[in-house]
């Protein structure tokens, strides 16, 4: 297998890890004002992601760094053409991080709760907008420069993609709260997760179906089916009180959705409306020497990072109860 293909798959894997792990962070933040009826509820909700949210963001940093090193032309075109949406995502992520850290030190925690909500809602929506545009194709000239505007990116298909990721992540966050809390908070999160599953199935299903009919491949139909089945199983498991299975199924749905997008993209990395100007894994990649060095570095350090993050989740695996928050 060529190294360009290997690194395309590795970058797809990094985005899968980011969306699965950061996805429930976004969902928890969006649901904070919905499920947080009291200050204790809101503290418990934030405590579920407190030990892990910053580690989850590492996947985004590594995905961006890997793109820069493996496909510099892709990185340059993406970050210049999508500058404003990516800047808004960055500001929202900073706002969310500050809100998590400063809420407990402020005399006005509700202001930080609002910051947490918008700092989670905006990235959850804009990541879908960005990836929908990447898969659909954008106007590029012969030098691979983006020639559109912000409003070019806000087309109906991309907005639907934003709603799809927002729905999936919110469902993922609700199921995560069911898994990590108890009592009345868990009961309310479970009831909300059932309604969110129906919405995610409809919105996400329509988006993936349109993707398949416009730019999809025969092989990615299987991923679409797995995504739909994942949401359905998550709903069924929630109804039966199988919290671990429900969370696993929602994670599988996100994985399958990302596989659908990257499978539809290959071998392009930034399709152009004029196919002659598209960037692909061949004309956007680094030199073979660079890819070889990166492969060795990834082979050595990736297992270490995975083991450390897995250990973190194991340490903080228990439910967050009211008594533990008060302690």
129-158: pLDDT as tens digits: 999 999 999 999 998 888 888 888 999 999
Please give the pLDDT value at position 106: 74
Please give the pLDDT value at position 19: 96
Please give the pLDDT value at position 108: 80
pTM of the model: 0.93
Please give the pLDDT value at position 171: 96
Cα gap 203→160, rounded to integer Å: 8
Please give the pLDDT value at position 111: 87
Query: Residue 228 has which token pair?
Result: 């739909």
Residue 253: closest CA among 308, 196, 294: 196
Cα gap 175→193, rounded to integer Å: 6
Query: Residue 57 has which token pair?
Result: 């963001």
Please give the pLDDT value at position 324: 55
Please give the pLDDT value at position 322: 64
Q: How far is CA 33 from CA 36, 42, 45, 56, 86, in A?
A: 5, 8, 10, 22, 25
Cα gap 107→46, rounded to integer Å: 17
**Residue ranges in the chain modelled with pLDDT below 70:** 1, 322-327
Please give the pLDDT value at position 249: 96
Query: Residue 171 has which token pair?
Result: 């469902």
Phi/psi of residue 217, nearest 5 degrees: -120, 165
């Amino acid at each position: 297998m060529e190294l360009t293909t290997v690194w395309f798959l590795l970058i797809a894997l990094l985005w899968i890890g980011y969306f699965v792990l950061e996805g429930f962070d976004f969902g928890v933040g969006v649901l904070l004002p919905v499920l947080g009826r009291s200050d204790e509820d809101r503290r418990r909700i934030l405590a579920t992601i407190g030990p892990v949210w910053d580690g989850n963001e590492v996947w985004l940093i590594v995905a961006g760094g890997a793109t820069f090193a493996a496909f510099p032309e892709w990185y340059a075109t993406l970050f210049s053409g999508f500058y404003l949406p990516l800047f808004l995502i960055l500001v929202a992520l900073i706002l969310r991080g500050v809100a998590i850290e400063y809420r407990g030190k402020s005399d006005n925690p509700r202001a930080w709760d609002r910051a947490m909500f918008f700092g989670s809602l905006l990235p959850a929506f804009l990541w879908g907008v960005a990836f929908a545009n990447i898969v659909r194709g954008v106007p590029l000239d012969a030098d691979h420069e983006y020639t559109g505007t912000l409003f070019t990116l806000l087309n109906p298909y991309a907005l639907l993609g934003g709603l799809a990721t927002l729905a999936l992540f919110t469902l993922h966050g609700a199921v995560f709260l069911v898994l990590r809390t108890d009592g009345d908070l868990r009961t309310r999160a479970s009831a909300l997760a059932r309604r969110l599953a129906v919405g995610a199935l409809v919105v996400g299903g329509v988006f993936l179906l349109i993707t398949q009919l416009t730019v999809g491949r025969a092989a990615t139909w299987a991923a679409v089916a797995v995504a739909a089945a994942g949401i359905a199983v998550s709903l069924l498991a929630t109804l039966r009180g199988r919290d671990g299975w429900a969370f696993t199924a929602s994670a599988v749905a996100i994985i399958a959705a990302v596989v659908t997008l990257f499978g539809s993209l290959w071998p392009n990395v930034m399709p152009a409306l004029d196919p002659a100007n598209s960037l692909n894994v061949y004309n956007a990649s680094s030199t073979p020497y660079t890819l070889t060095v990166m492969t060795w570095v990834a082979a050595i350090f990736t297992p270490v990072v995975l083991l450390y993050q897995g250990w973190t989740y194991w340490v903080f695996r228990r439910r967050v109860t009211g008594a533990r928050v008060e302690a």
